[in-house]
């Protein structure tokens, strides 16, 4: 029984992580795997499914295929602490202080340049550390509006 | 590897390749003929594949390769969106091609006929599986009785795709090549949709597979290699490896021919190369040879745990590269990496089909894959194969009402024991009692659907570079 | 030209009597068994039934019965070659018509089929009648698919034929018709034949089994 409880605990923690490395359902680029220093896999929980995407932008672009409510575990600046955003009844909600970086030009860069952060300071630190050009901190609302504009990538 | 030209010279093409007769053959008379029409959507898509093949070949034979990716593609695409109700006479769509490559058409049509008749057997209602198996064996013997028959031995796919002109067609005409591989996806994926599955459970599966075919598979241009029968239909291929091999050899012949026709050569050279390509895969060329013997062209080595699939590029024992999935060990569960038991389940999603050890592995693998999914497995207490279909959000439906599940979670090496399905709760109770499993209660389909065990600790990713070098 | 194994009874494989009077240069498939009937409405109505068996590659045998002359008919068809490059497909048919009252008429028909352009075909039939009234008949047939590249189940046919029976005036005939694939094993046909003596409406069906 102890072993069973332990396994359930392990599975509970790892439940949002896919076993298999696949291509992003939206951009078809390889999903960048998590590392010891940085999480990269964006996981969408919809109904009984947990689907990995390459970046937050890809999730928003692909959201219309899902009719039910969504929970998105977006990798943040901290390993093991994703920014959790939800689409409930079609409305997106995230943590109050979260911000989004979205400055990629091609999808080969989207995993690094379309990311969520728990705070503005965390985004600034990431931008500085990675020398990101033209960075702008977007609120979740601004980000979604930007992505849903048809002229966007 | 670049051995083909020298070996081709060593082969002498059979005399019938130059026969002037039309040599038309009919289907073997049988009560099951054209049962495919009972699945109208599937039948129409299958008939559409014939039109697609023929239109592309006609354009190539007429020297209209410049229009392949534009006008010809559009013409084919229009038909694929509104495919014919009846089988088509490919020769009437590609008369120029037939006048130039008549022997090739004999080979193609004879193999296509085997395709259709085996499908008919699997759809024809009222027969036991044993009867179907017998009939398919009979069809195979009938197929092999003609000189146009392709070998049922596994062929080394790396060898067959090692000519200097290999890949010319897919590089120059990716959209039309995508259509060809899309047709071959449909033709190979269909078998597990039908095999050991009652006709009433076939139609709902084609709602899923047909949508995948028409929306995605026809337009994929990023496949590393053609779809292989044992990849797409592992259950059927395990039972009939010779047929799976023959279809793969047929599809490889299509690829070889496409590459030849894409060359800027004079017609006599193309005709000679096509004859050589036919000769390489004919049953008569490999008469009296055995799987696992020979070298080069006669190397009939197969992936050890998959006798219905020839050796693939870069494959190493049971480890092979599967387009869209990466490196896989074919002797192990695709989800938990534990060796496969005799009884397995398969899960089909996003265009692939994987063999897994248990229903939990199948469900969890489907749960991390976008789109609808299908699980197929034999279960205790029913002669009917369990077929479950999930929607985009992982809500499963079953063809067996009242199906219940045991999921007494333990370690994955035993997952085939603790994750099972039963046709009835009485069957569940009997199994639990017999195996003295304490504290187990049957899970309904909905409760089972909502579970997810996440990444199996036993899963081992095989990290090697793509042998086709198309993607990193 | 029928392809191997597609429709068993194939609308593109033209047989005399369904609905016009000419053949193309191709037998039914090896192993195929088909049954056909045709009804002919004119000054004298006529009903014909027949069964054909592809007993060998490029060869078939037909046995039929015609109500008009109460004739038993048997015929043997032999395809000699398919169309290859610019060379025509060639075949012959030997038929014997045995009326209930009267002597048998044997016809030897030479057949050539050649594409004219991409899809249209010409079919040249020359008949030598061996009977009390030995004569020669010539038919020029034409066939073309209707509906390409979207539809693949109908052929348009036309013919012009002339017969020169011994010691009689020659007769000429013109006909048009359609062959339509109803399902994988059934072809329906309809046509009209016009000569100075009569106008004939024809329809029929062939079913493979």
Dihedral pair phi/psi, residue A44, rounded to 5°: -110, 125
pLDDT tens across C125-170, in order? 999 988 767 689 999 999 999 999 999 999 999 999 998 766 566 7
Number of folded domains in chain A?
Answer: 1
Q: Is position A6 within any domain?
A: no
Q: Which chains border C (3 or more CB–CB pairs < 8 Å)? A: B
Mutual angle of helices B241-261 and B174-194, in 10-degree steps: 170
What pLDDT is stored for residue B10 in this prediction? Answer: 62
Q: Name the residue range of residue A109's domain.
A: 20-148
Is residue A76 in some structural domain?
yes
Q: Does domain B336-450 have CATH number 3.30.450.410?
A: yes
Q: Characterise B351 by phi-psi region: left (phi > 0), alpha (psi -120 to 50), beta (else).
A: left
- Pick among A20, A42, A64, A70 to test the B interface (most B CBs inside 10 A): A20
Residue A150: its pLDDT value, please? 73
Distance in angstroms (rounded) separating the CA atoms of residues A77 and A125 = 9
Q: Which of B392, B386, B403, B410 is nearest to B446 (CA)?
A: B403
The average pLDDT across C161-186 equals 87
Establish if B216 touches chain C: CB-CB under 8 angstroms: no
User: Would you state the pLDDT for residue B422?
Assistant: 96
Nearest to C94 by CA among C79, C83, C109, C104: C109
Q: How far apart are CA A120 and CA A118, in angstroms?
A: 7
B267: nearest CA partner in chain C? C85
Contact present, A68 and A90 (Cβ < 8 Å): no
Which residues in chain B are closer than 8 Å to A49, comparing Cβ atoms? Answer: 366-370, 392-394
Residue A20 in contact with partner chain B when CB distance is under 8 A: yes
| pLDDT at B453 (0 to 100) | 93
Is the CA virtual torsion B196, B202, B204, B210 positive or negative? positive
Among residues B255, B259, B263, B251, the alpha carbon closest in space to that of B169 is found at B259
Domain assignment of residue A12, yes or no = no
Closest alpha carbon to B261 in B172, B160, B150: B172
Which of C5, C145, C184 has its CB closest to that of B110? C5
B95 vs C contacts (CB less than 8 Å) = 1, 83, 115, 118-119
Which whole-number Å values give the CA distances from C141 to A102, A108, C189, in the listed order?
Answer: 70, 62, 16
Question: What is the pLDDT at residue C130?
Answer: 87
- pLDDT for the residue numbered B221: 95
Residues with Cβ within 8 Å of residue C109, at least 6 apart in sequence: C23, C92, C93, C94, C95, C125, C126, C127, C128
Counting beta carbons within 10 angstroms of the beta carbon of residue C126, is it exposed (0 to 12), middle (13 to 18) or buried (19 or more)? middle
Closest CA to C46 of C203, C161, C195: C203
pLDDT of residue C5: 38
From B26, B92, B98, residue closest to C145, measured CB to CB: B92
Q: Residue ranges per domain, chain C?
A: 33-208
Question: Are the Cβ atoms of C149 and B82 closer than 8 angstroms?
Answer: no
Find out whether C113 and C127 touch, Cβ atoms under 8 Å: no
Which residues in chain B land under pLDDT 70? 1-10, 470-472
Within 13 A of B40's CA, how many CA atoms are on the CB side?
A: 3
Question: B114 to chain C: nearest residue by CA?
Answer: C5
B350, closest residue in chain A (CA to CA): A25
Residue A39 lies in a domain: yes
User: Residue C4: what pLDDT?
Assistant: 36
Residue A71 lies in a domain: yes
The pLDDT of residue B349 is: 96
Q: A147: part of which helix (H) or strand (E)?
A: helix A140-148
* CATH number of the structural domain spanning residue A50: 3.30.450.410
Q: Do B452 and A48 make contact, defined as CB atoms within 8 angstroms? A: yes
Residue from B395, B343, B335 nearest B365 by CA: B335
For residue B35, the 8-state DSSP code is G
Type and span of the H or E element at C173: strand C171-183
In the block, which residue shows the tokens 């610019």?
C86
**pLDDT-wise least confident of A11-25, A89-103, B127-141, B230-244:** A11-25
Strand, coil or helix: what is B152? coil
Nearest residue of B to residue A22, measured between CA atoms: B325
Q: Do C5 and B91 touch (CB under 8 A)?
A: no
Helices in B195-323 by DSSP H: which ranges?
A: 202-215, 229-232, 234-239, 241-261, 267-281
Q: Are the beta carbons of B24 and C150 separated by less than 8 Å?
A: no
Q: In this complex, does chain C touch chain B, defined as having at least 3 beta-carbon pairs under 8 Å apart? A: yes
Delimit the domains of chain B by residue range: 4-298, 336-450
A64 touches chain B (CB under 8 A): no
Q: Which of B409, B449, B456 sits opposite A4 (nearest CB)?
A: B409
Q: Which of B459, B439, B443 minimizes the C-alpha distance to B451?
A: B443
Q: Which pLDDT score, from 0 to 100, does residue B159 have?
A: 92
C33-208: CATH, from 3.40.630.30, 2.40.160.40, 1.10.10.10, 3.30.1330.10: 2.40.160.40
Does the CB of B459 have a partner CB in chain A at under 8 Å? Answer: yes
Question: Is residue A111 domain-resident?
Answer: yes
pLDDT at site C169: 67
For residues B163 and B257, the answer to whether their CB atoms sit within 8 Å is no
Cis peptide before A106 (omega within 30 of 0): no
How close, in Å, is residue B25 to chain C by CA atoms?
4
Beta strand segments in C22-170, E = 33-41, 46-56, 59-66, 71-81, 89-99, 105-116, 120-130, 135-146, 154-165
Contact B311, B228 (CB under 8 A): no
How many Cα atoms within 13 Å fall on the side-chain side of residue B386? 30
Convert the pLDDT of each residue in A62-78 to its tens digit. Answer: 999 999 999 999 999 99
What percent of chain C lies above the pLDDT cut of 70? 92
Between the CA of residue B297 and those of B151, B156, B280, C11, what are the distances in Å? 12, 7, 7, 41
CB atoms within 10 A of CB B82: 10
Chains touching B (at least 3 CB pairs under 8 A) are A, C
Ranges of H-type helices in A34-137: 56-62, 110-113, 120-130
- Predicted local confidence at residue B239, as pLDDT: 97
| A140 falls within a domain | yes
Contact present, C82 and C26 (Cβ < 8 Å) = yes
The complex's ipTM works out to 0.93
pLDDT digits (tens, 9 = 90+) for A117-127: 999 999 999 99
The count of CB pairs under 8 A between chains B and C is 149
């Amino acid at each position: 029984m102890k072993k069973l409880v332990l396994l359930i605990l392990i599975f509970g923690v790892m439940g949002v992580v896919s076993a298999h490395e696949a291509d992003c359902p939206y951009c078809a680029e390889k999903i960048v795997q998590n590392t010891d220093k940085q999480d990269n896999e964006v996981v969408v929980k919809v109904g009984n499914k947990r689907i990995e995407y390459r970046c937050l932008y890809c999730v928003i672009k692909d959201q219309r295929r899902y009719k039910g409510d969504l929970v998105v575990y977006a990798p943040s600046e901290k390993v093991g602490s994703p920014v959790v955003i939800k689409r409930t009844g079609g409305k997106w909600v995230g943590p109050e202080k979260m911000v989004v970086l979205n400055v990629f030009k091609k999808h080969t860069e989207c995993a690094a340049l379309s990311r969520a952060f728990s705070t503005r300071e965390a985004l600034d630190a990431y931008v500085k550390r990675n020398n990101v050009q033209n960075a702008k901190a977007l609120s979740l609302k601004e980000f979604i509006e930007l992505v849903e504009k048809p002229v966007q990538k | 590897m670049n051995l083909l030209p020298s070996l081709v010279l060593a082969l002498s093409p059979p005399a019938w390749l130059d026969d002037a007769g039309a040599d038309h053959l009919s289907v073997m008379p049988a009560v099951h003929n054209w049962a495919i029409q009972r699945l109208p959507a599937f039948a129409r898509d299958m008939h559409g594949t014939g039109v697609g093949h023929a239109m592309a070949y006609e354009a190539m034979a007429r020297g209209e390769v410049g229009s392949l990716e534009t006008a010809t593609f559009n013409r084919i695409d229009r038909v694929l969106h509104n495919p014919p109700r009846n089988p088509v006479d490919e020769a009437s769509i590609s008369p120029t091609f037939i006048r130039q490559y008549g022997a090739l058409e004999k080979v193609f049509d004879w193999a296509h006929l085997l395709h259709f008749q085996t499908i008919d057997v699997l759809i024809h209602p009222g027969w036991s599986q044993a009867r179907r198996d017998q009939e398919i064996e009979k069809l195979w013997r009938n197929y092999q009785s003609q000189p146009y028959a392709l070998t049922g031995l596994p062929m080394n796919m790396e060898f067959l795709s090692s000519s200097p002109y290999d890949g010319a067609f897919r590089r120059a005409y990716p959209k039309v090549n995508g259509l060809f591989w899309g047709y071959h996806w449909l033709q190979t994926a269909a078998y597990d949709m039908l095999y050991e599955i009652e006709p009433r459970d076939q139609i709902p599966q084609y709602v899923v597979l047909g949508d995948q075919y028409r929306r995605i598979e026809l337009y994929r241009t990023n496949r590393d290699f053609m779809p292989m029968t044992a990849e797409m239909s592992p259950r059927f291929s395990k039972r009939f490896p010779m047929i799976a091999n023959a279809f793969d050899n047929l599809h490889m012949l299509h690829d070889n021919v496409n590459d030849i026709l894409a060359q800027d050569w004079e017609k006599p050279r193309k005709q000679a190369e096509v004859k050589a390509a036919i000769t390489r895969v004919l049953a008569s060329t490999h008469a009296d040879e055995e799987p696992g013997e020979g070298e080069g062209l006669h190397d009939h080595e197969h992936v050890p745990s998959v006798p219905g699939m020839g050796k693939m590029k870069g494959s190493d024992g049971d480890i092979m590269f599967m387009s869209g999935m990466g490196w896989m060990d074919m002797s192990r569960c695709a989800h938990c990496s534990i060796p496969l038991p005799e009884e397995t389940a398969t899960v089909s999603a996003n265009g692939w089909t994987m063999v897994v050890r248990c229903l939990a592995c199948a469900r969890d693998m489907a749960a991390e894959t976008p789109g609808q999914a299908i699980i197929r497995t034999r279960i205790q207490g029913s002669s009917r194969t369990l077929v479950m279909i999930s929607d985009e959000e992982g809500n499963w439906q079953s063809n067996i009402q009242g199906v219940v599940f045991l999921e007494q979670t333990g370690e994955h090496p035993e997952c085939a024991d603790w994750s099972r399905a039963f046709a009835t709760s009485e069957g569940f109770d009997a199994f639990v009692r017999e195996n003295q499993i304490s504290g187990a209660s049957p899970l309904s389909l909905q409760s089972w659907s909502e579970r997810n065990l996440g990444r199996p600790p036993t899963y081992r990713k095989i990290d090697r570079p793509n042998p086709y070098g198309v993607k990193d | 030209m029928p392809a191997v194994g597609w429709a068993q009874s194939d609308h593109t494989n033209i047989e005399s009597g369904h609905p016009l009077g000419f053949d193309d240069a191709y037998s039914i498939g090896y192993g195929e068994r088909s049954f056909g009937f045709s009804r002919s409405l004119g000054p004298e109505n006529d009903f014909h039934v027949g069964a054909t068996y592809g007993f060998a590659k490029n060869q078939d045998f037909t046995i039929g019965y015609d109500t008009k002359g109460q004739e038993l008919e048997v015929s043997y068809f032999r395809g000699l070659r398919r169309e290859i490059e610019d060379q025509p497909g060639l075949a012959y048919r030997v038929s014997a018509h045995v009326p209930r009252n009267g002597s048998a008429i044997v016809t030897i028909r030479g057949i050539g089929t050649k594409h004219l352009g991409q899809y249209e075909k010409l079919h040249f039939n020359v008949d030598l009648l061996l009977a009390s009234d030995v004569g020669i008949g010539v038919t020029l047939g034409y066939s073309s698919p209707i509906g390409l590249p979207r539809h693949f189940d109908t052929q348009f046919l036309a013919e012009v034929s002339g017969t020169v029976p011994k010691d009689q005036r020659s007769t000429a005939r013109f006909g048009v018709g359609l062959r339509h694939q109803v399902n994988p094993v059934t072809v329906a046909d309809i046509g009209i034949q016009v000569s100075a003596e009569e106008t004939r409406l024809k329809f029929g069906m062939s079913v493979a089994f």
